[in-house]
Amino acid sequence: MINYKIRVQYDGTRYKGWQRQKSIDQTIQGKIEVILKKQFGRDIEIDGSGRTDAGVHAMYQVANFRLHEAEAEHFGGEPEALTALLNAYLPEDIAVLETRIASERFHSRLNAVEKTYIYRIWNSGIPNVFDRKYVFQIEKKLDVEQMRQAAEPLLGTHDFAAFCGNAKMKKSTVRSIYEIRIETIGDEVRITYRGNGFLQNMVRILTGTLVEVGLGDRDAMSMTAILESKTRAQAGAMMPACGLTLWEVKYD
C-alpha cells in the first residue's frame, strides 16, 4: 500500500465541519472520500490532522490515505497527478494544494506535533464586505492591551478543561500553548494560537473569554482562576466559527 499525504485548504462556510457524518454529505472529509470511492471503486478512509467544527476554515489541513499500487497506476502514480485528479472533482471551496508519498507509518493526526489557529475579529462599526465570511464583527473597540495581559497565564502546559466544549470528555484535557499573539491590523484584531494540540471548541472559547476582557466584562487577572476551576461555566462564551481558521500543522 502507498500512503499519500495531502495538504487541503477549504472555506468551511457551507460545511458541517471536517468529519464525515452519516446523516449529511456536507463535510470536507466526506467530499474527498466520495471522489476516492468513485475513482477507485471502494471505500477509502482518510484521516485528518484534526476535526474542524462546522463553519471553520482551513488554510493548511493535512490528511492521509492509502492506495494499492495497482490503484496508483490509475493516475500514473505521481503525487502531482493525484492532486490534479482530486481537484478536478472537488467543489470550488475545497482544494488539495499538495500531495506527497509519506512513510507507511505516517498518520496525520497522531504524528502532528504543533498546530496554529488564527481567529480574526473585525473591530469596526462598518462591515468588512470582502472578508465577511472569514471574520467576526465586534463594533465596540476592544482593549487589546488588557487582552494581551489576560493571555499571559494561558501560556505553557495546563489542564484546559474549563475551555473545552465537550462536557463528556474522557481523555486528558492537558495541552500546551506555546504562543498567543494578539495583533491589530487596521480595524482587524487577529489572535494567533500556537500549541501542541487543542480541545474541542477550545480556541473559540479562549477567544470568547479574551474578548470579554477586551470589552471590560471580565478582569484580565481572572484567567488563572478559570484554569484552576476546570469548569466550563467559569470561562467565556464560545465565539462563532466564521472567524476561525486552521492555519498550519507541523510534524517532526
Q: Which residues contact 32 (CB under 8 A, 6 or more apart)?
A: 8, 46, 63, 86, 90, 94
Contact 178, 243 (CB under 8 A): no
CA angle 244, 59, 250 (to 5 degrees): 100
Tell me, what DSSP letter sits at residue 169? -
Name 172's Cβ contacts closer than 8 Å, sequence gap at least 6.
Answer: none
C-alpha cell at 189: 484584531
The Cα 151–Cα 250 span in angstroms is 23
Contact 252/114 with Cβ under 8 angstroms? no
Residues labelled as active-site residues? 53
